[in-house]
Structure 1
Amino acid sequence: MSTQEPDYDHLLRANLERVFNERDDDRRTLAIEELFIADPVMYEPDGIVTGREAISAVAGKLLAQFGPTFRFTPAGRGVGHHGLAVLRWEAGPDGGPIAVTGSDAARIVDGRIAQLWVLLNAPVG
């Protein structure tokens, strides 16, 4: 394992943009291969997703479910140390109201995401 800290902000922002905002299945697959270890695990509020293909399927389903302009946007910089990284985000349609906010927390191994926890904030109002 490398002793040099990865660029946590860049890694988690790339995950939002290149995986969870990517509507093209092939580009999303390539991004996941680059950003995630071979056998990653993603923990969502409703379940556990294992493997690159399953993570890609979840991202694609989310984008299809919420419409063509829905996207995730970082809210601040990703921070981390000793293999743990966190990035706050918000999501909604382009130019529309924010539909959901949350954070991604990730365990990073050798510069790649090994485990990803999707943490949703309670709705406001």
Structure 2
Amino acid sequence: MALSKSERKLRIRRRIRKVSFGTETRPRLSVFRSNKEIYAQLIDDNKGVTLVAASSRDKDIKAKGTKTEIAHAVGKAIAEKAKKAGIETAAFDRGGNLYHGRVKSLAEGAREAGLKF
């Protein structure tokens, strides 16, 4: 029997989390995508703490346009906040989503702003 869409996403998320682990020097860039918004966090898994966060709901993100363009702006914002916190590299965790569309746009925006992963 085939997996449902949510079961498939959960299976992929668990597989990614086995490999992707965040430390203080190289935190995990976790992406959560809902139907309307997109959220990104830099997480230190050793301490269980969120170091930096950005989302499309933040007031400092002034991007208008499509969801993909807004995700690109969120990627730039998370990278700028990370640089202020002294973080230059991260482990990318797409959270079970395909690396396509908004998730890809967020990653490219973060790379443009100087975050490496």
Would the TM-score normalized by the shorter structure come out above 0.5? Answer: no
Q: TM-score, normalised by structure 1?
A: 0.28
Q: TM-score, normalised by structure 2?
A: 0.30
The structure that is strand-richer by fraction is 1
The structure that is helix-richer by fraction is 2
